Structure 1
Amino acid sequence: MRAFLVAFSLVGILLAGPVSADPKPDGAYVRSGDVDLVALLPPPPIAGSSEDKADIAAVFAYEKARTPETSDRAKADNEMTIFRLAGVVMGPDFTPEKLPVTTAFFDKVKRDSGKPTEAIKAYYNRPRPAAAALSLQALLPLPKNAAYPSGHTTWARLNAIVLAAMVPEKRIEIFARADEYADDRIVAGVHYPTDIAAGTIAGSLIAQKELENPAFNTDLEAAKAELRTVLKLNATQ
């Protein structure tokens, strides 16, 4: 895990270069080439290495510790919507029906996490835990793409950063829920701990690039105003 921390300490330097003049992102706000996760993240553990064996052991430990409650939550957390991720934190008024601007905004945010993660998944092509350890019983059908890094975790961390900027009063709860959501990928048997660690960094890197985009910040302020009005929160936060 130390390698992940060292890598994360360097990425701010690597991302601080000049912004390209090309104004057309292939995501909603970010071009996939602006966040080169192959360059910015450490590689996954080598198959058969001590770190790889520790990853496999951790997944089996999670399987053994499953309860009906955690299993049900892990299955439900396969859903990638901001309302599934943060509804338990934000309360009953946090619904797409009441928040059309916020819904559209987070749909756009979601687009920015896809291409960067798919590129690095294809590059390393790390097998899912249940494919590498056939005795493991996954709770979900195995996705067809590779394991590293976790796309759900990347998306959850990105969304947590954005949502916390909109509702800073709930920052602690938002990040705790994003961590739980990410952890549920291990509970479900579809990811290793190092996939989760890498996804957490990846989501942070993508969020940093979004925050550099004026169009993103304009849309963020519009969604923030709607959300804070619906939740009856002080508009000056």
Structure 2
Amino acid sequence: MRKFLLLPLMLIWFAAAAQHRQEPVSDHYKALQRLSAAPAPECAWMDTVRYPDAEIGSSITFLLVQPHYLTAAQLHTISQSVKAPANSSEQTRAELDYLLELQAKRTPEQEKRVDYLGRIGYWPQVNQMPSHPFYKENLEHLFFEGREVLGPWSTAENFPAITKLLQGVMHDMRVMEFTIKHRQLRPRPYHLEPSMKAMGRIGSPAFASGHTMWAYLQAYVWSEVIPEKRKEFLALADEIRRSREIMGIHYPSDNEAARLVAHRMLKSYFQNSQFKKDLKAATEEWKSKSTGFTVTANK
């Protein structure tokens, strides 16, 4: 009898959980993790280097912002769950060498694509001001992954319920991103490696990658709404994370940590009733409206 009573509870639990588990670490991310992340005494000077205070931009103000779906406790736990390798570590040295290899092989076509991807980014504060000159562009950035995978009709105007869901998770993402970054203050690769010719300088610390975090968090959320497109969304997220390495502005460990954080955020969301309500509305909206469009890749 007890087993029969537990069965409905188990079904409820599974129904309230994310549909997908996270894929295991792979490729060079897995190989680099095998190396020591501990400080190397012979290069102790490197561990005195941190992201320069003078280069910190306005992103630090996100430390004053409360999360949307996440609780303060979840924000704290997840933000504390990842740690950057020491600057002097064997792993960081290998990561810098890997980035230098990518730099040597960079092609004009790659540079054009990664520069384009680098300009994508949704900012919650802009969403508060419909009269803002970048308000429309900001919403276009919010639906970047949707357009790339589904087609040009994937817009905020066509899918208001999905818009609400994505805005909520992107709000959380920015708070999480800068909580981690400003706690660890990891210098960018070009701060440690003089021969690094990065395709830009960024006004925030390196760890963890914000671009990779939003790319994977959105891919995971889109996959909850449209499970059959998970492979395509994750492929796009993977391209975005690798673009940060090609640009010379992120270590691979910045990107792997961001991927892990994104999935931990997703799992935490299923403890939030408002998220589950918004996800249900987004899923129903997709099912009712998508039949009026043709799902084609926008590439």
TM-score range, shorter chain: 0.7 to 0.9
The equivalent of 2:154 in structure 1 is: 94
Cα separation, partners in 2 of 1:2 and 1:133, compared to 1, 3 Å: closer
Q: Which moved more, 1:196-205 or 1:149-158?
A: 149-158
User: How far does residue 38 in structure 1 lie from its aligned partner after superposition?
Assistant: 4.7
When residues 65 and 97 of structure 1 are mapped into structure 2, their CA distance, relative to the original with a 3 A threshold, is: farther
Distance (Å, rounded) in 1 between the aligned partners of 2:109 and 2:148: 15
Rounded to whole Å, the distance in 1 between the matches of 2:239 and 2:225 is 20
| Distance across 2 between alignment mates of 1:217 and 1:232 | 23
CA distance in 2 between partners of 1:62 and 1:209 (Å): 35
Aligned to 1:56: 96
Q: Letter of the 1:208 partner, please give it.
A: K
Q: Which residue pairs with 2:132 in the alignment?
A: none
TM-score (norm 1): 0.81
Question: Does residue 134 in structure 1 map to residue 194 in structure 2?
Answer: yes
Matched residue, 1:227: 286
Which amino acid is 1:123 matched to?
R
Amino acid at match of 1:161: Y
User: CA separation in 1, counterparts of 2:147 and 2:194?
Assistant: 35
Offset of residue 69 of structure 1: 2.4
- TM-score, L = length of structure 2: 0.65
Structure 1 residue 199, shift from structure 2 partner:
0.5
Alignment of 1:165-204 (within 5 A): 165-204=224-263
Aligned letter for 2:81?
Answer: L
Question: C-alpha separation between the residues in 1 aligned to 2:194 and 2:157?
Answer: 42
Counterparts of residues 1-237 of structure 1 (less than 5 Å):
1=30, 26-35=66-75, 36-41=77-82, 43-78=83-118, 79-80=120-121, 81-140=141-200, 142-232=201-291
Structure with greater Cα Rg: 2
- CA distance in 2 between counterparts of 1:210 and 1:4 reads 28
In 2 relative to 1, CA 51–226 (structure 1 residues): closer, same or farther, beyond 3 Å? same
AA aligned to 1:109 is V
Structure 1 unaligned runs (5+)? 6-24
C-alpha contact (below 8 Å) 1:37/1:117 kept by paired residues:
no
Q: Which residue of structure 2 lines up, in the alignment, with residue 17 of structure 1?
A: none
Deviation at 1:105, TM superposition (A): 2.1
Counterparts of 2:218 and 2:289, CA distance in 1: 19
- Give the deviation of 1:103 after TM superposition: 2.0
* Structure 2 alignment gaps of length 5 or more: 1-29, 35-64, 122-140, 293-299
1:161 Cα deviation after fit: 0.8
Note the alpha carbon deviations across 1:145-195, whole angstroms, 9 max, x for none: 111111111121111111001111111111111111111111121101010
Aligned mates of 1:138, 1:230 — CA distance in 2: 43
| Contact preservation (8 Å) 1:130, 1:138 | yes
The question of whether the paired residues in 1 share the 8 Å contact of 2:80 and 2:180 is answered with no
Task: Give the Cα–Cα distance (whole angstroms) in 1 for the partners of residues 155 and 262 of structure 2.
Answer: 23
Do the aligned residues in 2 keep the contact of 1:32 with 1:116 (CA within 8 Å)? Answer: no
Does the aligned pair in 2 maintain the 1:85–1:181 contact within 8 Å?
no
Q: Distance in 1 between matches of 2:185 and 2:161?
A: 37
Following the alignment from structure 1 to structure 2, what is the Cα–Cα distance between the partners of residues 105 and 38?
21
Indicate the SS of the match to 2:291. Answer: coil
Identity %: 28
Matched residue type, 2:80: A
- The CA deviation at 1:37 is 3.6
Return the letter of the residue paired with 1:61. E
